[in-house]
């Protein structure tokens, strides 16, 4: 391949480096072999059942259950190893997208190519961004026909930071718009009005049925401010979230 002799190093050093390289390759091969060593395990997935027409067939007899359990434990251990190395949150196991990923990998069977850093950071991220934008654009089109509600609510995280979330609700669902750190805001009511007013303008006043604000202390100023700024915004009113 691309390997070439390096005359500036003693032979024993080059031999040691070569041995380390071969040892690494052997470990990688062993990892793959451990996962794929049982040919019968390769002939079935880790989950029994049907996935959109994909039927899983298991070998007959009690031995099949033992082999299935062994294969499941082996793969689960590799997943756990990845979890511990990358320090992922354990709650991720509850995400539907994680379960979908396992099903997709199981359908592919052996020899699934690995992802590169560029795949995750650039190409796949761009595809996900485009997909999310398409979903959002589909909802935005409905706002012009059926109107929508702007929702603002504040909450405090573990660091005692006051975070204000802004969402848009319509009959097709709820869309997150943005959040603002309100911990250091002196006049939070005035700032809240500015943020909500900006969102109303972006969406279009004619498409907004109401503005819903959680905190009663914060909601009175935006209502007065809107009415003072433009009487046409009489349709926009604030109310508590139940």
177-234: pLDDT as tens digits: 888 887 777 666 677 778 888 888 888 888 888 888 875 544 434 444 554 555 444 3
Query: What does DSSP assign to residue 231?
Result: G
Bigger pLDDT: 95 vs 2? 95
Q: Which residues of 223-234 are buried (b: 16+ CB within 10 A; e: fewer)?
A: bebbeeeeeebe
Q: Compute the distance between CA of residue 85 and CA of residue 73 in angstroms, rounded to an integer.
A: 18
**Total-model pTM:** 0.51
Buried/exposed 74-87: b ≥16 CB within 10 Å, e otherwise: ebeeeeeeeeeeee
Q: Could you tell me if residue 102 is left (phi over 0), alpha (psi between -120 and 50 degrees) or otherwise beta? A: alpha
Per the CB < 8 A criterion, the answer to whether 176 and 167 are in contact is: yes
pLDDT at 168 over 90: yes
The backbone region for 52, taken as left when phi is positive above 0, alpha when psi lies in -120 to 50, beta otherwise, is left
CATH class for the region spanning 140-229: alpha beta
Is 211 in contact with 235 (CB distance < 8 Å)? Answer: no
Residue 140 in contact with residue 207, Cβ under 8 Å?
no
Residue 223 CA to residue 200 CA, distance in Å, equals: 13
What is the pLDDT at residue 109?
A: 77
Among the listed ranges 41-55, 146-160, 218-232, which one has the minimum average pLDDT value?
Answer: 41-55
Do 83 and 75 touch, CB atoms closer than 8 A?
no
Tokens of 233: 């915004």
């Amino acid at each position: 391949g691309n390997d070439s002799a390096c005359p500036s190093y003693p032979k024993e050093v080059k031999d040691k480096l070569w041995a380390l390289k071969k040892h690494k390759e052997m470990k990688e091969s062993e990892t793959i072999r451990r996962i794929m060593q049982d040919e019968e395990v390769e002939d079935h997935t880790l989950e029994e059942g049907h996935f959109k027409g994909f039927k899983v067939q298991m070998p007959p007899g009690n031995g099949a259950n033992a082999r299935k359990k062994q294969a499941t434990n082996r793969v689960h251990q590799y997943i756990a190893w990845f979890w511990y190395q990358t320090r992922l949150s354990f709650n991720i196991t509850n995400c539907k997208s994680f379960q979908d990923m396992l099903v997709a990998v199981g359908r592919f069977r052996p020899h699934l190519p690995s992802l590169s850093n560029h795949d995750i950071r650039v190409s796949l991220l761009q595809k996900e961004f485009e997909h999310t934008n398409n979903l959002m654009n589909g909802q935005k089109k409905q706002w012009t026909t059926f109107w929508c509600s702007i929702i603002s609510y504040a909450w405090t995280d573990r660091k005692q930071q006051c975070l204000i979330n802004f969402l848009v609700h319509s009959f097709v669902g709820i869309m997150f718009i943005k959040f603002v750190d309100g911990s250091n805001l002196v006049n939070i009511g005035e700032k809240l009005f500015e943020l909500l007013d900006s969102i109303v303008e972006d969406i279009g006043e004619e498409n907004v049925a109401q503005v819903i604000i959680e905190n009663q202390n914060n909601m009175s100023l935006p209502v007065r401010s809107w009415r003072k700024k433009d009487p046409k915004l009489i349709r926009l009113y604030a109310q508590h979230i139940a």
